Structures are given as C-alpha cells and as structure tokens.
Chain A
Amino acid sequence: MRNMTRQNRNRLLSVIGLLAGLVLWEVIGRLELSPAFPPFSAVLAAVVEVWSSPRFLEALKESLISIAIALPPSIVLGVAIGLLIGRYRRVEWALDPLINTFLSLPLVALIPVLFLIFGLGRGSILATIVIYTFFIVVVNTAAGVKTTDPEIVEMARSFGAGEAHVMNRVILPSALPLTFAGIRIATGRAIRAVIIAEQVIGLIGLGGLVQRLGGAFAVEQLYAVVLFVGLFGLVSMEAVAIAERKALPWIIAQEETEPAFQGA
C-alpha cells in the first residue's frame, strides 16, 4: 500500500519535472537568448507540421528500410556465432580477440573507412548498422550460453541427448534471457548507427534531415525531428523489452554486456 503511493508520488514528480522543464523551455525561448532555443510552443507547432510532412515521412521510411535490411540478419548471425562461441571453446578462443577488439574500440571511427569502401550510399549505412549491432548480440548470446548449468547438460547427456538436442532443449533456453537483452541493446544501437551514418552522408534518412535542417537554421523543425528520434528510440527499446517479458516471463534481471563505446 505504502509502496503504491510512493510509486504514484514518483510518477507525479516526474510529470511535475517534465512540466516545469517545458515551462522553463518556453520562458527561455521567449527571452530569445539564442536561436538554438526556440520556445517550446514553437517546437510543438513544428512537431505538428513536420511529423506529417512528406519530406519527414520519406526520411523516416529511408531510415526504417535501412534498419529493416541490416538489423535482422545481423541479429541472426550474431546469435548463431554467439551460440558457437558459448558452446565450443575453440571457437571462443579463435573469435574472442576479434570480438573483443570490436567491442572495445570506438566504432564511429570506422565510419570514414566504411564510406571509403562502400561509398556514400546505403551500403555504408547498412555496414554501420551491422558493426554497431552484430558484436553486441554475439557477446550477450555467448554470455547467455555460459549461464547454462553444466550439470543440466550432463543430465541431458546421460539420458542420451545428442548435441542438437542439447543445443535446442538446454542451451538455447538458458541463453535466451541474455540473448534478448543483446537484441534490445542492438535495437537501440541500430537507431544510433543509422542516424549517425545518415548524418555523415547528410542527404538521406532522418539523420540527413537533421543535418539539412541544422544547416538551414530551421531550429524548430530540427527540434521536432530530434524529439521524434529520441521518442522512437525509447518506444522501440520498450517494445523489445515488452516482447522480452512476454516471451520469458520467468526471467529476472541478469547482467548484460554493454561496452563503453555504445554507438554514436
């Protein structure tokens, strides 16, 4: 009971914090301190206008297509490699240094090279999404496999289960929670990847729109797009989290791997 009211109190505080921030934003905007801070009401008007404009919808479509092309295969491949790494020591030894290298380097720095190799177009965007998402799925899946209780594997073996059976019935279920966590993180990173890659090109997608609006000093519209991108990120991650809870109602939080260079 007391917890309920505490929760409600916190929700109320969050709403108050939000409203206070918006009022402050409006006031700062009205003071015309800087062209970078238009009043919130103007941004809101821009939201209404921009979010339904053909230009925006076209950009959104471009970004979504890139994610739709690159993310699923990246996840599938990542899970497969992750399972192998988690299960077979030799695969782990062989791939660990490579995976770790990619996890501990600032991936954005590779973007100029990717653009050199794949050109100033969709190919580079897709490549950016893949390097941003693949390795994170791999490590989380591999870590998930490692959570398998070896005694359960032995037990399954003792009942005559073959490798395929062990993989399907024992290892995969144990690995699922962290695999899902990896997919959730990858989803957020895919959005970061597509945006930064498009920003570098500066022409297509939401990232391109951000660059063009910035260049044109169309600040209200710029804020409208930034708001959308942030909310879109929130909603997608939340969607994966909900799917996660639906699919795995038994899971309790496990420590997921999130490296420092978490995308742009």
Chain B
Amino acid sequence: MVTDQAAGATDVELTLAARGGSSSRWTPWLFRIGSVGLVLLIWELYGRAQDTTLFFVPFTSVVTALWELVQTTEFWDAFRQTFIPFIWGWLLSLVVGIFLGLLIGRFPAFDALTKPYVTFLNALPISTLVPIAVILFGIGYPSRILIVFLFGVIEVTLNTAAGVRYVNRDLVEMGESFNGTQWRLFRKVILPASVPGIMAGVRIGTGRAVVGMVVVEILLVAVGMGRLILRYRGRFQSAELYAVVLALILFGILLQVLARRIELRASRWKSEMEQVA
C-alpha cells in the first residue's frame, strides 16, 4: 500500500533529520513549493476551462486585475475609506482590551463581575451586532469604528487577562518579599511578566479587527472596498472582484505578519527562557 511505503519513508527521514543529515534538506521545499504550485496551476487551468470567467477566474487574471487596480486612484480612495475607521477601531480595541484585561487578570472580583458579559460576547458572532451599530450611529465612521472595535476587543481582553493571571507565582512572591508597594509590584513584576500574553492578545485582536473591517465592507452599505466589490459584482467584472478580495486578504496577512514580529520581539525573553529550560 502506498501509505505503508510512505510510513517507512517517513521513519527513515525522521532518523535522518535527527542525525542532522543534509541529504534531504531540499526535499521539504520541493514538496512545499510543488504543492502550492500545483494548486495555483489547477486554479489557473480550471479557470481557463470554464466557458465564462463570470464565476471562476483564473489565477493570472486575478493577479493582472490586481496589478491594474492598484494603479488606479479609485482603489486607494476606497482603501483609505476602509482603512481609516479600521485604524481607529483597532487602536481603540487594543487600548480598551489591554486595560480591561489587566483589571480582569489582576482583580478576581472584577473578573467575576464582568464574566457574564465577556463570556457572552466571546460566544456571540459579533456580526449580529452590525445592525444595532447601524441603528445607533448610522452608516458613517462611528458605527464602522464601533464594529471593528467590538470584533477586536474581546480577544485582546481575554488574552491580556490570561497573561496577567498566569504570571509565575514564584515571581510575584519574590517581588512581595522585597516589601514594595502594590503598584511597584504591578509595574515591575506583573506587567512585564504579562507582556507575552498582552502581545498575543494584540496579534489575535488585530486579526479579529481585520475581520471586523471586512464584515463592515460586506454588510454595510458600502463606501470603501465594499463598494468596489458591489460595483464589480454588478458589472460582472469578476476578475476585479477577486482582485479586491485578494487585496483585503493580503492586507490582513501583512498586518498579521507585523503583529507576529512585534509579539516575538516583545516576548523574546520568554522563548529564550523556554529554550534553556
């Protein structure tokens, strides 16, 4: 059987890798690049085999459309209109989330008081709040900001709280032994020790805020990237529609990569410590 052969091969490679053998160094990349290439190829060929490019657009057409799109001022106008409320909602979610998370993680009573709301909001598809935001603020920037904020804030809060709550007990005790004020203990021990948790919250919250941004674009009467999507759909310009989607995705991935970078840097002491341990 194919699987049995594969299994045998796997074990051989495992031992090779364990011995630091370099003969298979390029094999993983062969597989990685090969599979991605294959998927793109299938995408391309399947797209070309269609009678119409109305529904399924070949990969190259999407890339071309994106390339043309980013050279129009219209695209960047739309992007700006999407981006500005995103930035505000995102920053707000970080600030509020970190603040609430610190309180929740540090004070069990506050944690208990707010638990029903945090739990509920964590389980709720935030998109259901979009109509309420619209009734509250209309369809302008305020409700867009609110939605992005709501998407991001829960994850930031939960992760920050977890970071604070699971600060090493021994560190806290050591800090207490030096008889400082509670505030100093917080600033010099608990806060720095929570940074990895906070940064994980920032990364995940950033991702969620991007989701909120996209939800705004596809659910609200559109002005930004969402309007481009609507228009291209109306004009049956599917390649352009794909391109807008691709742009949103690339933007999301870019932010994610950045957030991960920042997280790794801020939490470096932790990973280094774990490597030693």
Residues of A participating in the B interface, judged by any CB pair closer than 8 Å: 6, 9-14, 16-18, 20-21, 34-37, 87-91, 93-98, 104-113, 116-117, 150, 163, 188, 191-192, 195-196, 199-200, 207, 210-211, 213-215, 217, 219, 222-223, 225-226, 229-231, 233-234, 237, 258-264
**A89-B229 contact in complex given A116-B241, A192-B125, A260-B204, C-beta closer than 8 Å:** no
Are B124 and A230 in contact (CB-based, < 8 A)?
yes
Residues of B participating in the A interface, judged by any CB pair closer than 8 Å: 3-4, 6-7, 9-10, 13-14, 27-32, 34-36, 39, 54-56, 108-109, 111-117, 119-121, 123-136, 155, 203-208, 210-211, 214-215, 218-219, 229, 233, 238, 241-242, 244-245, 248-249, 252-253, 256, 259
Are B241 and A260 in contact (CB-based, < 8 A)?
no
Docked pose: A117 CA to B47 CA in angstroms? 11
Chain B interface mostly helix, strand, loop or mixed? helix
Chain A residues whose C-beta falls within 8 Å of the C-beta of B27 in the assembled complex: 93
Which 10 residue pairs of A and B lie closest in terms of their CB atoms, listed nearest first? Answer: A214-B131, A260-B207, A93-B31, A36-B136, A13-B112, A230-B124, A17-B113, A233-B123, A10-B112, A94-B35
Chain A residues whose C-beta falls within 8 Å of the C-beta of B135 in the assembled complex: 34-36, 214, 217, 219
Docked pose: A233 CA to B122 CA in angstroms? 9
Chain A residues whose C-beta falls within 8 Å of the C-beta of B39 in the assembled complex: 98
Chain A residues whose C-beta falls within 8 Å of the C-beta of B54 in the assembled complex: 116
Provide a sorted-by-A list of 25 A–B residue pairs whose CB atoms are within 8 angstroms. A17-B117, A36-B136, A89-B10, A90-B6, A90-B9, A93-B28, A98-B36, A104-B253, A105-B249, A106-B210, A106-B214, A110-B249, A116-B241, A163-B3, A188-B123, A222-B131, A226-B124, A226-B132, A233-B124, A233-B125, A259-B207, A260-B155, A260-B207, A262-B211, A264-B215
CB distance from B245 to the nearest CB of A (A): 5
Partner of B207 from the list A12, A106, A116, A233 (CB cut-off 8 Å) is A106
For the complex with contacts A199-B127, A231-B123, 5 further pairs of A-B residues with Cβ separation under 8 Å are A88-B6, A104-B253, A260-B203, A261-B256, A264-B125
CB distance from A101 to the nearest CB of B (A): 8
Chain A residues whose C-beta falls within 8 Å of the C-beta of B259 in the assembled complex: 260
Are A89 and B14 in contact (CB-based, < 8 A)?
yes
Docked pose: A94 CA to B29 CA in angstroms? 9
CB distance from A157 to the nearest CB of B (A): 9
**A163-B218 contact in complex given A112-B233, A113-B245, A262-B207, C-beta closer than 8 Å:** no
B213's nearest neighbour on chain A, judged by CB, is A106
CB distance from B151 to the nearest CB of A (A): 8
Docked pose: A35 CA to B136 CA in angstroms? 7
Chain B residues whose C-beta falls within 8 Å of the C-beta of A95 in the assembled complex: 35
Are A225 and B128 in contact (CB-based, < 8 A)?
yes
Chain A residues whose C-beta falls within 8 Å of the C-beta of B31 in the assembled complex: 90, 93-94
Chain B residues whose C-beta falls within 8 Å of the C-beta of A264 in the assembled complex: 125-127, 211, 215
Docked pose: A262 CA to B209 CA in angstroms? 10
CB distance from B56 to the nearest CB of A (A): 6
Chain A residues whose C-beta falls within 8 Å of the C-beta of B253 in the assembled complex: 104-105
Q: Which of A107, A110, A112 has the most CB of B within 10 A?
A: A112
Docked pose: A60 CA to B54 CA in angstroms? 33
Q: Which of B113, B119, B205, B253 has the most CB of A within 10 A?
A: B113
Are B249 and A109 in contact (CB-based, < 8 A)?
yes
Docked pose: A40 CA to B111 CA in angstroms? 23
Are B132 and A214 in contact (CB-based, < 8 A)?
yes
Partner of B127 from the list A192, A222, A260 (CB cut-off 8 Å) is A192
Are A196 and B215 in contact (CB-based, < 8 A)?
yes
Are A88 and B131 in contact (CB-based, < 8 A)?
no
Are B128 and A109 in contact (CB-based, < 8 A)?
no
Partner of A89 from the list B13, B111, B205, B241 (CB cut-off 8 Å) is B13
**A215-B14 contact in complex given A90-B31, A96-B32, A105-B249, C-beta closer than 8 Å:** no
CB distance from B240 to the nearest CB of A (A): 11
CB distance from A181 to the nearest CB of B (A): 16
Docked pose: A11 CA to B135 CA in angstroms? 34
